Structure 1
Amino acid sequence: MVSFCLAPVEAERLSVLAPRIVLVAELTLLQCAKYRVWQRKEQLLSLGWQVEVVDWRETQQALAALQVCTRVVFYRVPAFENVRSLVAEAHALGLAPAWEVDDLIFSEKEYLCNSNIQSLSVFERRQILAGVRLFRACLLACGRGIASTPALAAAMRQAGVGSVAVIENALDQQTLDIARDIRNGFVKDHEIWREIRIVYGSGTRTHDADFRQAAAGIFAAMQADPRLSLHIVGDLTLPPCFATMGARVCQHAGRDYAAYMAMLAQADITLAPLEATLFNDAKSAIKFLEAAVLGVPAICSRRDALARVVRSGRNGILADTAEDWRTAILKLAGSARLRRKLGQQARYDALALYGPDAITTRQVLPVFGAPPAQPVSDVRVMCVNVYYAPRSFGGATRVAEEMAARLAQRASMSVSVFTTRPDMPARGHACVRYVADGVDVLASAALPDAAAGVEALDSRQATEDFTRWLAAMRPNVVHVHAVQGLGLGWADVCQQQGIPYVLTLHDAWWLCGRQFMVQANGQACPQRVIDLDVCQTCLPGTLGLAQRARRMRAVLEGASLLLAPSETHRAFYVANGIAPERIRVNRNGFQWPVTPRPPRIAGQVLRFGYVGGAEDIKGFGLLRAAFESMQRGDWELVLVDNKSALGFPPLQAGAWSVQGTVRVVPAYTPATMDDFFDGIDVLLFPSQWQESYGLTVREALARSVWVVATAPGGQAEDITAGVNGTLIPMDGQPETLRNAVESVLDFLSNRPETPNPDLGRLCTFEQQAEELGGWLEEVAHKAGSQSAQSSGGAGGATGRNPWTTLSAVAASA
């Protein structure tokens, strides 16, 4: 993981992402999740944030979510190893993570002071205390806290966290809807029996000590008033004296939230007793709020959060001693009018202070703020290529990198990149966000190398990651280069969302199942117009080839514009059914040398260079056979190992049997390119397919390096035979290449070096970017104009705002 772009990303880079908050949360505690996760999502959505919720156990999903968010909160999450990695990633991405909780579960001292823990087994206590240490570690690792009560916030600060905010548990729309449904047509089923029903929601047996605070008073009140009954919801160990009450005490199994609220609605009185500990002072007033929204009066312990909201005698009653509990229960039991008065006031106060709008405005907005406005560029481009820096390989990647960097310099344009990452076992399939040369990049796990045929056209993971990145960067045009390993799902997403895309056709992959129009025997394919019956001899399985062809054609037809790097390549696609007006030539550029080329040293042998890799389609086998068959040694051959940095086996030349010298050098970079070309006199480009362009050829020609290349093809378009290079037929014969090399040896060895007279024909990266930028602007503006016309001035190209749908899709990915 450390080896691939996991260096910290500056927090300032978050400003280019769509405002998005990720809640990494404990979701198995349903009631806790309701008030701290789903309620928070509802509040944040109402403020205009995009929100995604991820279970903390789903490490890869959480990692992927972190790459495209601008804020992250970890709710009730322990610092297990996977969580520590998530928190570290959040810090590295500049997200300033916060740890949120609604119980004092991070203080071992306070946990041990709570008598409820004594009801647990030794094993359960050990488990809880181990969890306490993990919760505390996660709080401190995040460095920022969000608490449900002021007392809990104070405990966080005491633990060593300086930045702590308070957002209380409150009422959400689900609770209000349930309460409304219950109150409509509500009838208390026990009134005919003149029963006064007390309901206590226990949940689990860890509330035994809490109940004991009120138990004596409850029992005394029930002795004094035979109408009183006690209904317990959930596990609770009742003191033995309650057995004497017989059927007046009922214990009910725990139930879902709606059923619990329905039972609570049947109460005449509800109770919220809590033991006098800091642990309970940190608890929220949710029992009061749930009863209040139903109009049920509550008697509560005088714990911090409850005492802040309960105005004793006005909207509820606070009790401290057993006598307080007895008196309060009997007072409420004796007056239906008082019960109604307190219940109605409690409902009014709860809605006024803790209703969804009230709590969002009063507490959520000050903590999270409104979503910040993104800087808006006239044209927002997303570049897509299978490789990208630091995994730079091949001409298409070099072009993609150069174009992204140059387009990003345009005042009216912003650029992002979608690409693949290497295999990272510790990370699984999670994507990686990083910055390369000032451009924001998201790298997805590529399709496995074994994927072939139609299967190689689909990558669910890449499509999900691409959808996330679209929602984060909001491009209005997507520029696609080489996408082998990424599948074609990106095209489906663009078409569905009305986002135009432009395809640069770097090779024959869109028409040829072998990508480079090379037959299985290594020879160039003679076809100019693709016939799938002929293709079957290379790739058996006509059905698969037909499916592939249909899929590819659909993507080509869906493009707003097609670009070819050369006239040769454009003609190839036109010959295969692409309308001429839909495809333009955008010649690849090159980088001029920084310093003049030094003259060859007198008496120095002629130096040849080869950059194509070990593939036969690039002529590597021909190259070796040609040089091994030469009976002279007045030469040196420099082989560039351009793939070992990507994890491929290194290029080997030790077994070659030659008269001259063969050596292998590492791949060059733009910064070291001049050194490489200054070290050779001739570039060998014996490709066995009609290349779309041949960037290395132009780099050599720009430095007045002689080029030996096959023809026809885009690689030959800037070579004038006998003037700046040598052209040879694409016949797959080693003798042809050997004869050309020997001829060059005889021709150049004693010839003074001369500049390439055709330098003015070459296209620079600056020229390519200028032309490309204009076309991308044209496509983006045209799509925007069509969008405005179809939607009456707003929304996507299909008459709707694509980002509304994209945000929803990305959140569920």
Structure 2
Amino acid sequence: MKIAIINTLYAPNKVGGAEKSVQALAENFSALGNDIIVICLGKEDVSYKLNGVTIYTVKIKNDYWPFDTANKSSFEKLKWHLKDASNNKYNDFLHNLFLSYKPDVLFTNNISGFSTKVWRTASNLNIKIVHTLRDYYLQCPKTTKFKGNLNCLTLCNDCKLLSLPKKKDSSKINYLIGISNYILNDHIDKGYFNGVENEVIFNGFEIPEKKIPEKKNTNTFGFIGQVNESKGIELILESFSKISSSSWRFLIAGAVDEKYLKQLNKINSSVQIEYLGYMDSSKFFEMIDVLIVPSLWNEPFGRVVLESIINKKPVIASDKGGIPEILSNNKQFIFSPKVNELTVLLEKIIANSNFLDEFKFENKYLEKFTIKNTVQKYLEVFNKIIRD
């Protein structure tokens, strides 16, 4: 099968959760004998091979590279997003590439920077299209639907305007996949992808056989990932400030802006809190007893929750977005992201470390999150729409 994959970024450039998932799929599709190309954005036109996959990096066709926006004005950003809402400048390149490559399926993921016009280009050539929802780009140009430390319950006027062409183009695809029920329903309920067949396929992971490590009972809590408001780091610091016991440590792995670090230290500057900077996740999980995932925003999936479980570390996590779907067999470890709720849960763990023994690491439950299962489900979808 010939599969053309589109994602805004691809390894080795800025690799986050979506990029890791797309790369794993591409390489596993290829390993099974499928012919794979990946199309992504970059600062220059270049093609290369990585682990058996051919990657075409296309120079961004907008006013600036969207991942360096620190010095951009509000007007410049709005202008960028207006162009991105209906960007036809990739049409000729994609049209010619599709004609020469002749894909059986176009598999799109994050498409910020490309725009939904990639769907029209493929549809005009009668190429079957499968799209996976990994963010909120179709509803919000920032891709997060998070503003002023709150999740957006309705779309603001800017988002309504910028999402109109995207919603219209959503009818062009043949099959829709959500990485959680939450993100899938969030789009369907708002009138996207009318009449398009859909299903949930969770992100897939390599899950090695791993024993549950011997308990250390050090009450070492951890946080790993982007250190910002939406991820709930301030919530954790406030909660620890209300705990009278001193028998705990809190380790934070992730790059922190100096200005923001000063702000965090004003909330809680306890010596029991340690900022480790960016570090390898497997090493980090060896250092902690339990991971805290206190996200305020509606995570489309919650990748770090699974990573902790794979590393046999219990997780306490917020009830936002797709996170509860990962912890459906560990509901007692889910909390509403409020200071009082998290404080109570932290105190419970500190007072009784045996509480963490209730966390279930069930291999049978984890099967639906294996990369093998995920790849199989995607290939079943691709074969189905080709037959149809």
Match of 1:589 among 191, 201, 204: 204
Query: How far is 1:469 from its partner?
Result: 4.2
Find the aligned partners of 2:55 and 2:311 in 1 and give their Cα distance. 32
Within a 5 Å distance, the mapping from 1:115-264 to structure 2 comes to none
Which residue pairs with 1:474 in the alignment?
102
How far apart, in 2, do the equivalents of 1:702 and 1:594 lie? 9
Verify: 1:769 aligned to 2:375, yes or no: yes
Q: Match for 1:661 among 273, 279, 285?
A: 273
> Shift in Å at residue 611 of structure 1?
2.8
Amino acid at match of 1:621: E
Q: Distance in 2 between matches of 1:680 and 1:770?
A: 34
CA 1:392–1:406: 2 relative to 1, 3 Å: farther
**Letter paired with 1:442:** Y
Structure 2 counterpart of 1:402? 24
Shift of the 774–650 alpha-carbon distance from structure 1 to 2, 3 Å rule, reads: farther
Q: Does 1:485 align with 2:113?
A: yes
Aligned: 1:640 with 2:246: no
Partner of 1:214: none
Deviation readout 1:568-608 (Å, 9 max, x if unpaired): 3333233223447622111212221354343233xx52222
Q: Which runs of 5+ in 1 are unaligned?
A: 1-378, 422-428, 528-533, 537-541, 783-813
Q: Where do 1:204-353 residues align within 5 Å?
A: none
- Deviation track 1:209-261 (CA, whole Å, cap 9, x = no partner) reads xxxxxxxxxxxxxxxxxxxxxxxxxxxxxxxxxxxxxxxxxxxxxxxxxxxxx
Shift in Å, 1:738: 3.4
Residues 97-153 of structure 1 deviation map (CA, whole Å, 9 limit, x = unaligned): xxxxxxxxxxxxxxxxxxxxxxxxxxxxxxxxxxxxxxxxxxxxxxxxxxxxxxxxx
Match of 1:432 among 29, 40, 46: 46
Q: Amino acid of the residue matched to residue 582 of structure 1? A: E
Superposed counterparts of 1:506-521, under 5 Å: 506-518=134-146, 520-521=147-148
Pairwise CA distance, 1:563:
0.4
Tell whether the 8 Å contact from 1:652 to 1:664 is kept in structure 2 after alignment.
no
**CA distance, structure 2, for counterparts of residue 473 and residue 441 of structure 1:** 13
Q: Provide the residue aligned with 1:617 in structure 2.
A: 230
Q: Return closer, same or farther for 1:439/1:660 CA change in 2, 3 Å cut-off.
A: same
Q: Could you tell me which residue of structure 2 aligns to residue 702 of structure 1? A: 310
Distance 2:382 2:278 in 1: 35
Tell me which structure has the larger Cα radius of gyration.
Answer: 1
- The whole-number CA distance in structure 1 between the counterparts of 2:356 and 2:218 is 14
Shift of 1:774: 1.3
Cα distance, 1:565 vs. partner?
A: 1.4
> Cα distance 1:747–1:684, how it changes in 2: closer, same or farther (>3 A)?
same
Name the CA distance, whole Å, in 1 between partners of 2:319 and 2:178: 18
Gap change, CA 1:581 and 1:560, over 3 Å in 2: closer
Give distance in 1, aligned partners of 2:385 and 2:259.
Answer: 42
Q: Summarize the Cα distance change of 1:535–1:600 in structure 2 as closer, same or farther, 3 Å threshold.
A: same
Show the counterpart of 2:181: 567
The aligned counterpart of 1:684 is 292
Contact 1:632 1:659 in 2 (8 A): no
Change (3 A) 1:599 1:514: same
Match of 1:737 among 342, 351, 365: 342
Asked whether the 8 Å contact 2:173–2:196 carries over to 1, the reply is no
Amino acid at match of 2:334: L
Distance 1:684 1:777 in 2: 40
Counting matched residue pairs gives 367
- Cα distance change of structure 1 residues 664 and 742 upon mapping to structure 2, 3 Å threshold: same
Distance in 2 of aligned mates of 1:665 and 1:696: 17
Quick check: 1:552 aligned with 2:166? yes
Residue 759 to residue 512, structure 1, CA distance change in 2 (3 Å): farther
Superposed CA offset, 1:32-86 (max 9, x none): xxxxxxxxxxxxxxxxxxxxxxxxxxxxxxxxxxxxxxxxxxxxxxxxxxxxxxx
Deviation at 1:662, TM superposition (A): 1.4
* RMSD of aligned alpha carbons: 3.0
CA distance in 2, matches of 1:628, 1:436: 47
Provide the C-alpha distance between the structure 2 equivalents of 1:690 and 1:587, rounded to a whole number of angstroms: 16
1:545 CA displacement: 3.7
**C-alpha spacing 1:674/1:492, structure 2 compared with 1 (3 Å):** same
Displacement, 1:504? Answer: 0.4
Q: Is the 8 A contact 2:324 2:331 kept in 1?
A: no
CA distance in 2, matches of 1:680, 1:464: 51
Identity %: 17
Aligned-partner Cα distance in 2 for 1:579–1:457:
19
8 A Cα contact 2:298 2:320, kept in partner: yes
Equivalent position SS for 1:535: coil
Q: Cα 1:409–1:714, aligned 2, differ >3 Å: closer, same or farther? A: same
* Distance 1:571-1:461 versus aligned 2 partners, 3 A rule: closer
Tell me the CA shift for residue 765 of structure 1: 1.0
- More contact order relative to length (CA 8 Å, sep ≥ 6): 2
Runs of 4+ in 1 over 6 A off after TM superposition: none
Helix, strand or coil: the match of 2:251?
Answer: strand
1: CA distance between counterparts of 2:104 and 2:343?
51
Tell whether the 8 Å contact from 2:179 to 2:202 is kept in structure 1 after alignment. yes
Is 1:419 the counterpart of 2:23? The answer is: no
Contact 1:456 1:487 in 2 (8 A): yes
Q: Which has the higher helix share?
A: 1
Amino acid at match of 1:583: N
The secondary structure found in structure 2 opposite 1:743 is: helix
Contact 1:633 1:661 in 2 (8 A): no
In structure 2, the partner of 1:523 is 150
Residue 409 of structure 1: how far off its partner (Å): 1.6
Contact 1:591 1:699 in 2 (8 A): no
Deviation at 1:404, TM superposition (A): 0.7
Partner of 2:360: 756
Distance 2:118 2:194 in 1: 23
Distance 1:463 1:736 in 2: 50
SS, match of residue 704 in structure 1: coil
Encode CA deviations 1:273-324: one digit per residue, 9 max, x unaligned: xxxxxxxxxxxxxxxxxxxxxxxxxxxxxxxxxxxxxxxxxxxxxxxxxxxx
